[in-house]
Structure 1
Amino acid sequence: MSDNELGTFLRTWRESVTPAEVGLPAGPRRRTPGLRRAELATLAGVSVEYLTRLEQGRDRNPSAQVLGGLADALNLSLSDRVLLRRLTKEADGGDPLVCAAAPPLSRAARPSVRAVLDRLEPTPAVVLNWIGDVIAHTDGYARLTGPLGLLDAEQPNLLRYLFTDERARDAYPDWDRVADDLVAQLRHDVPLRDPYVAELADELTVTAGAEFADRFADLATAPRRVGSRLIEHPEAGPLRLLHETLALPEDGQRIVVHLPADDATAAALDRLDGRRPGALRAVRRAG
């Protein structure tokens, strides 16, 4: 087995991607059908010298931003981005972002919090920890988000779903706004040195590339705690939902409750719940 799997991976992909695939002219004097180092370096925003060190195994600890830029430039699939990230971690001897001194990340809801969810049924409501892991939810939330694919993962995570699952683009017509809000919450609600935030940000910078990294670097965007969200549901059709966030600071968690913003959405949620129309009333705005 090669001791430079990261470099081999990058070189193999560079040589397999044609200039036309990345919008470059082929040129008459090209010795290989793949990309030159200078071309890939330019596309990824790194120097040729640094790319050479990576391919030759003389540097085995590229930043997540560099990996994200290379993955974007090579048009890597999600599975190949995950592999690229894994090879980097292995080449560096493990994951330096996870430190034993960090407080444990909450992945369970207290019994009293679960009791609150029971009281909220059949309203769609979810308990999230500070990095967006789904740790508890109502049955109404499962009926709302299950068909979207949000709960398919063994450990569902809102950010990971939004940025790496193609179904999220269809589910959220205002995807850009949803992405802005979720990344702003991750960026502003937790200290930047939190190892779990850093680990998730590192992962998504590689797997999602600039769409995540640029938002995470933007300090100007503030998170919105309340507002409306449009969902294109495969069974219920278009839904407009208001969301309220209830903080649980002792647990590092929050409860997000979704309410129908109009009568059409209220009726659609009733149909999803198998209840008589009008049982879940739309929220009326003042004024």
Structure 2
Amino acid sequence: MGTPLGDFVRAKRDSIQPETLGLPERGRRRSPGLRRVDLAARAGISVEYLTRIEQGRDRNPSVAVVNALADALSLDRAERDHLRYLAKITGGACTAHARPAPARRDVRPSVRQTLRLLEPGIAVVTNRLGDILAHTIGYETLTGGTGLLDDDAPNLTRYVFTDPRARAFFADWDAVADEQAFDLWRGPSVENSEWLTAELAPVAGPEFTRRLNRHVVPRRGTLRLNHPTGPGLRLTRETLDLTEDAQQLVVFLPADDETARNLERLGERPRLRAIS
């Protein structure tokens, strides 16, 4: 049985063409990407040890080995952070047998006060599992008619993968789907991630499972939305991590003047200054 760490290392190895690392092409091969022997050599470890990591038979590689693999795979900063995080949860996975508890859903009073101060702006508090815990009226206006807030306990991840309206609402649905799947790995604990995926996977299907297991680190560029009333919107997201709560506060800002005008018409709100 594999591990998240092994899956990520193997997926990155398969995605790398040898010539991009200055390695010679060794002829046709059955699987794509970088050979194990080449990655092991670059990382300064044995092929046997690399195989054990990829197959999940070694769950506790040292910090030095994890850093060597990051260097050998030429990971960027976000990918390095993800690799270290997966090494951490993989190492502790074998001791996690307690029944998983649901993710925290209460929002601190000071955070709710912050949302009130942000009105009539567009802001939302979520946890890493996609639960929408609190939001401004501006966020409700933005998502009105999309079905996102229809449930008693709305969840953005479930909406993206199970509601057909999400594919129309998010102009770059594939990128948003990658973001939501990736964020499950950053849940309050690996147990909570497993708790949600056990509930979500049966209804979300293979599209969700495939994205979750390939560990694509999202770039989180401009968010493009197609509002049901017609206007296209381009939004920039500013995220404040509420670390002690395992939550995040996301503020949405118009990325251009046209979006600012469209938002003003949507909510008859005061004019918002586009960011440059």
TM-score class, shorter-chain normalisation, is 0.5 to 0.7
**Contact 2:120-2:269 at 8 Å conserved across structures:** no
**1:197 is aligned to 2:193:** yes
**1:113 is aligned to 2:111:** yes
User: SS at the partner of 1:246?
Assistant: strand
The separation in 2 between residues aligned to 1:202 and 1:104, in whole angstroms, is 12
Using the size of structure 1 for normalisation, the TM-score is 0.59
Return the match for 1:239 from 233, 236, 246. Answer: 233
Structure 2 vs 1, CA of residues 143 and 253 (structure 1 numbering), >3 Å: closer, same or farther?
same
The separation in 2 between residues aligned to 1:98 and 1:267, in whole angstroms, is 52
Deviation at 1:234, TM superposition (A): 1.2
**Contact 1:236-1:268 at 8 Å conserved across structures:** no
The aligned residue for residue 179 of structure 1 is 177
Q: Percent identity at matched positions? A: 48
**Contact 2:157-2:181 at 8 Å conserved across structures:** yes
**Contact 1:182-1:223 at 8 Å conserved across structures:** no
**Contact 2:188-2:246 at 8 Å conserved across structures:** no
The separation in 2 between residues aligned to 1:117 and 1:135, in whole angstroms, is 12
Deviation at 1:245, TM superposition (A): 1.1
**1:159 is aligned to 2:128:** no
Bigger shift: residues 153-162 or 103-112: 103-112
Amino acid at match of 2:232: P
Structure 2 vs 1, CA of residues 103 and 192 (structure 1 numbering), >3 Å: closer, same or farther?
closer
**Contact 2:128-2:188 at 8 Å conserved across structures:** no
Amino acid at match of 1:190: G
User: SS at the partner of 2:116?
Assistant: helix
Structure 1's unaligned 5+ residue stretches are: 1-96
**1:125 is aligned to 2:119:** no
The residue correspondences of 1:222-261 to structure 2 (distance < 5 A) are 222-224=217-219, 226-261=220-255
Deviation at 1:170, TM superposition (A): 0.7
Using the size of structure 2 for normalisation, the TM-score is 0.61
Bigger radius of gyration = 1
The aligned residue for residue 144 of structure 1 is 142
Amino acid at match of 2:127: N
Amino acid at match of 2:258: A
Q: CA RMSD in A?
A: 2.0
User: SS at the partner of 2:232?
Assistant: strand
Structure 2's unaligned 5+ residue stretches are: 1-95
User: SS at the partner of 2:105?
Assistant: coil
**Contact 2:123-2:138 at 8 Å conserved across structures:** yes
Structure 2 vs 1, CA of residues 112 and 232 (structure 1 numbering), >3 Å: closer, same or farther?
same
Return the match for 2:267 from 255, 258, 273. Answer: 273
**Contact 1:126-1:141 at 8 Å conserved across structures:** yes
Deviation at 1:227, TM superposition (A): 2.4
Deviations 1:42-86 (A, max 9, x none): xxxxxxxxxxxxxxxxxxxxxxxxxxxxxxxxxxxxxxxxxxxxx
Structure 2 vs 1, CA of residues 183 and 268 (structure 1 numbering), >3 Å: closer, same or farther?
same
Amino acid at match of 1:145: T
Structure 2 vs 1, CA of residues 268 and 232 (structure 1 numbering), >3 Å: closer, same or farther?
same
Deviation at 1:105, TM superposition (A): 2.2
Deviation at 1:112, TM superposition (A): 0.4
The separation in 2 between residues aligned to 1:103 and 1:205, in whole angstroms, is 18
Deviations 1:147-193 (A, max 9, x none): 21100011000000000111101101211111011111112x13763
Count of paired positions: 181
Runs (4+) of structure 1 exceeding 4 A deviation are 97-100
**Contact 2:127-2:187 at 8 Å conserved across structures:** no
The aligned residue for residue 213 of structure 1 is 209
